[in-house]
Amino acid sequence: MIITPDLKDKVALVTGASRGIGAAIAVALAEAGAAVAVNYRERADAADALVADLNKAGHRAIAVAADVSQAASVARMIEHIRSTLGPVDILVNNAGIAIVRGVDDLTEDDFDRTITVNLKSAFLCTQAVVPSMRAKKWGRIVNISSGAARGAGAIGPHYNASKAAMEGLTRGYAARLVKDGITVNAVAPSLIATDMMSGRTELAARIPLGRLGHPEEVAQAVLMALGNDYMTGQTIVLNGGMAFV
Residue 2 inside a domain? The answer is: no
Residue 245 inside a domain? The answer is: no
Q: What is the Cα–Cα distance from 7 to 11, expressed in whole angstroms?
A: 8
Confidence at 209, pLDDT banded by 50, 70, 90: confident
Residue 30 inside a domain? The answer is: yes
The residues near 8 (Cβ < 8 Å, ≥ 6 apart) are 33, 34
Checking if the pLDDT of 197 tops 90, the result is no
153-192 per-position pLDDT tens digit: 889 999 999 999 999 999 999 999 999 999 999 999 988 8
pTM, full prediction:
0.94
64-73 per-position pLDDT tens digit: 999 999 999 9
Q: How many domains does the chain have?
A: 1
Residue 3 inside a domain? The answer is: no
Backbone angles phi, psi at 60, to 5 degrees: -100, 125
**pLDDT > 70 fraction of the chain, expressed in percent and rounded:** 95
Average model confidence (pLDDT) across the chain? 94
7-52 per-position pLDDT tens digit: 999 999 999 999 999 999 999 999 999 999 999 999 999 999 999 9
Residue 40 inside a domain? The answer is: yes
Task: Report the CATH number at residue 124.
Answer: 3.40.50.720
What is the per-residue pLDDT for 4? 80
Residue 130 inside a domain? The answer is: yes
**pLDDT > 90 fraction of the chain, expressed in percent and rounded:** 84
Amino acid present at 200: R
Residue 201 inside a domain? The answer is: yes
What is the per-residue pLDDT for 126? 98
**Full residue range of the structural domain in which residue 210 is found:** 11-238
Catalytic residues: 159
Query: Which string of b and e fits 114-150 if b means at least 16 CB within 10 Å?
Result: bbbbbbbbbbbbbebbbebbeeeeebbbbbbbbbbbb
Residue 42 inside a domain? The answer is: yes
